[in-house]
Amino acid sequence: MPDASNITAPTRFIETKLEKYAYRRFGRGASLPLLCLQHFTGTLDNWDPAVADPLAQGREVILFESAGLGRSTGEVPDGVPAMAAHALAFMDALGLTLVDLLGYSLGGMVAQQIALDRPSVVRKMLLVGTAPEGGEDIMHMEKPELKKISDDPNLPGLQRLVKLFFTSSESSQAAGQAFVARLAERKQDREPISGPSVAKAQITAFRAWERVNGERFGKLRNIAQPCLVVNGVFDSMIPVRNSYMLTEHLPRAMLLVYPDAGHGSLFQFHDSFVKEAVLFLDSTTI
């Protein structure tokens, strides 16, 4: 499998009833395909090979570029339900009738929405650094601690990720530098970087997701799939209490919280995360 890596896997394109989407698929194995849904402003190039590649050793990993991101056509929706509709159109066009989902941050919200809108296509979900509808303090980039990082003109884009996704400790920052070095390993066939209009639409979606609609967390009762909820204990973008809320209200959610880690806990503890993800995906008892 020379291309079973997000460093080398070619970007592919598929026409659907909604848009033409960019995507990558690589790896193989006996397990269900793992469809990966990306974070705020992230593209296919933001999937850490240290997470995606080992997961692709036991299953096909499919990275999805939603509408208006990278080389996918269309507009970035300003709400999670429309994002879920794009993911479902993509699945339909590829003929994917049952998958596991890895939803990271914004992608975790889209994953929950997919499970609500069409439960039959989802077997299990990994919900990482994310929040339930009606959650708290979700991606408030205007908070001083986040704004000073995202507005810093001296920080190149990847270095912003090191500050935003990792804690200020020496070990977490070192893990952050290793993470962005891995992201930079892909040299060709890269996606365009997201601009301000992407951020604006996705922030609007976060504000809508934060609102309590009806009984708070009531919809979570309808998600019957086993879920593994993962976060860093010091996530400044989507605080860990949102992961507590998910775990306390999803009927079948196991929670895993990493120490000295922020929003990018899965990248900081990639070896552990991959082992935990495989244990969870292969388990028949959880």
- What residues make contact with a copy of itself under the rule CB under 8 A? 233, 240, 244, 247-248, 250-260, 269, 271-272, 275-276, 279, 283, 285-286
CB of 108 to a copy of itself, least distance (A): 17
CB of 172 to a copy of itself, least distance (A): 12
Q: Identify residue 31 by its one-letter amino acid code.
A: S
Angle CA 197–103–29, to nearest 5: 130
φ, ψ for residue 14, nearest 5 deg: -140, 135
**CA-based max dimension of the chain:** 50
CB of 137 to a copy of itself, least distance (A): 15
CB of 248 to a copy of itself, least distance (A): 6
Q: Provide the pairing of β-strand 12-15 with 20-26.
A: antiparallel
CB of 104 to a copy of itself, least distance (A): 19
Closer CB to a copy of itself, 76 or 127, in the complex: 127
Taking CB atoms within 8 Å and a gap of at least 24, the contacts of 267-273 are: 267/48, 267/50, 267/51, 267/165, 267/175, 267/176, 267/179, 268/165, 268/166, 268/172, 268/175, 268/176, 268/179, 268/232, 269/175, 270/48, 270/50, 270/51, 271/50, 273/51, 273/230
**Residue whose tokens read 């009806």:** 214
Closer CB to a copy of itself, 98 or 286, in the complex: 286
CB of 251 to a copy of itself, least distance (A): 7
Closer CB to a copy of itself, 148 or 275, in the complex: 275
Closer CB to a copy of itself, 98 or 279, in the complex: 279
Closer CB to a copy of itself, 207 or 275, in the complex: 275
Closer CB to a copy of itself, 79 or 259, in the complex: 259
